[in-house]
């Protein structure tokens, strides 16, 4: 259980033995089981926009995101689409114990996946206690994140939704690094459309609200996908969330 970041963000690990060092990747490479996992591992890359798997497809691989951003989503018959997971480096892809994917997975930017065949991975899952423990922790963290997302979808205004998404992205990019609350800059690796799918809005509303936040001085935009926040607390105040972020006793 060492090396795992404690909280709402998905568990991530710096794995010295990993081919790609110094990077949050493949949270499963416990030193002791390294050989096993190492043997099973394969990497695959996807171009921005490519599908990784469709809902209903047979799920041959599971794995985790090494670089880039992928998204989990659900589409209704008439085309309405809702993102239900945003997968950043170290996030797990796939569902051990199920043979078919329940959701679409697409590459949002170029993506590298560290993959394991599902069947042998499931075998390891029952053989290696550590692995199961980590999977449980990750699943529980994702569940908490999903529940916050539900509050966002069900009750927040468009402006609050945008502010919330910006803080989520800001936090995940500056995660271990800058915890200082001021002068944060980050890249939005998402189109307005992807944001609208995340937030349950239309892309027009996303555009309007981003520009409203800009006009009100809450954010500044260098390029259309690069955000400056001079006063993070100010942005936080726009999210509608509890000021203390749930850390009251």
Q: Which residues are at the interface with DNA (CB under 7 A)? A: 157-159, 191-193, 200-208, 210-211, 221, 223-225
Nearer to a copy of itself, 19 or 56 (CB): 56
DSSP codes, 10-47: PP--B-TTSSS-SSB--TT--GGGHHHHHHH-EEEEE-
Q: Is 122 in the site for a copy of itself (CB under 8 A)?
A: no
Q: Is 236 in the site for a copy of itself (CB under 8 A)?
A: no
Closest approach of a copy of itself to the CB of residue 106, in Å: 15
Min CB(135)–a copy of itself separation in Å: 6
The total of other beta-carbon atoms located within 10 Å of residue 155's CB is: 10
Sorted by sequence, the CB contacts under 8 Å of residue 43 that are 6+ apart come out as: 19, 66, 112, 113, 114, 115
- Of residues 123 and 220, the one with the C-beta less far from DNA: 220
User: Which of 32, 154, 177, 215 lies at the binding interface for a copy of itself (CB under 8 A)?
Assistant: 154
DSSP code, position 56: T
Q: x/- site string to a copy of itself, residues 163 to 202, per CB under 8 A?
A: ------------------------------------xx--
Question: Strand, coil or helix: what is 174?
Answer: coil
Number of residues that make up the chain: 249
Q: How far apart, in whole angstroms, are the C-alpha atoms of residue 223 and residue 204?
A: 18
Instruction: Give 221 or 240: the residue with its C-beta nearer to a copy of itself.
Output: 240
Look at residue 84 and give the partner it binds from a copy of itself, DNA, none, a contact being a CB closer than 5 to 8 Å depending on partner kind: a copy of itself
């Amino acid at each position: 259980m060492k090396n795992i970041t404690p909280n709402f963000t998905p568990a991530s690990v710096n794995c010295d033995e990993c081919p790609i060092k110094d990077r949050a990747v493949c949270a499963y490479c416990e030193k002791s089981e390294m050989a096993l996992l190492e043997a099973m591992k394969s990497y695959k890359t996807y171009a921005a926009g490519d599908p990784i798997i469709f809902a209903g497809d047979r799920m041959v691989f599971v794995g985790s995101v090494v670089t880039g951003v992928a998204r989990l989503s659900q589409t209704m018959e008439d085309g309405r689409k809702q993102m239900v997971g945003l997968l950043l480096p170290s996030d797990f892809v796939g569902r051990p114990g199920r043979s078919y994917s329940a959701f679409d997975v697409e590459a949002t930017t170029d993506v590298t996946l560290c993959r394991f065949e599902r069947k042998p991975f499931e075998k390891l899952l029952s053989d290696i206690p550590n692995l199961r423990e980590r999977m449980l922790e990750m699943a529980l963290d994702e569940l908490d994140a999903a529940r916050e997302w539900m509050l966002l979808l069900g009750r927040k205004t468009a402006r609050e939704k945008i502010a919330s998404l910006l803080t989520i992205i800001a936090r995940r990019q500056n995660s271990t690094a800058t915890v200082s609350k001021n002068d944060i800059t980050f890249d939005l690796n998402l189109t307005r459309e992807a944001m609208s799918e995340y937030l349950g809005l239309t892309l027009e509303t996303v555009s309007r609200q981003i520009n409203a936040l800009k006009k009100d001085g809450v954010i500044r935009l260098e390029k259309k996908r690069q955000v400056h926040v001079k006063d993070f607390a100010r942005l936080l105040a726009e999210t509608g969330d509890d000021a203390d972020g749930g850390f009251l006793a």
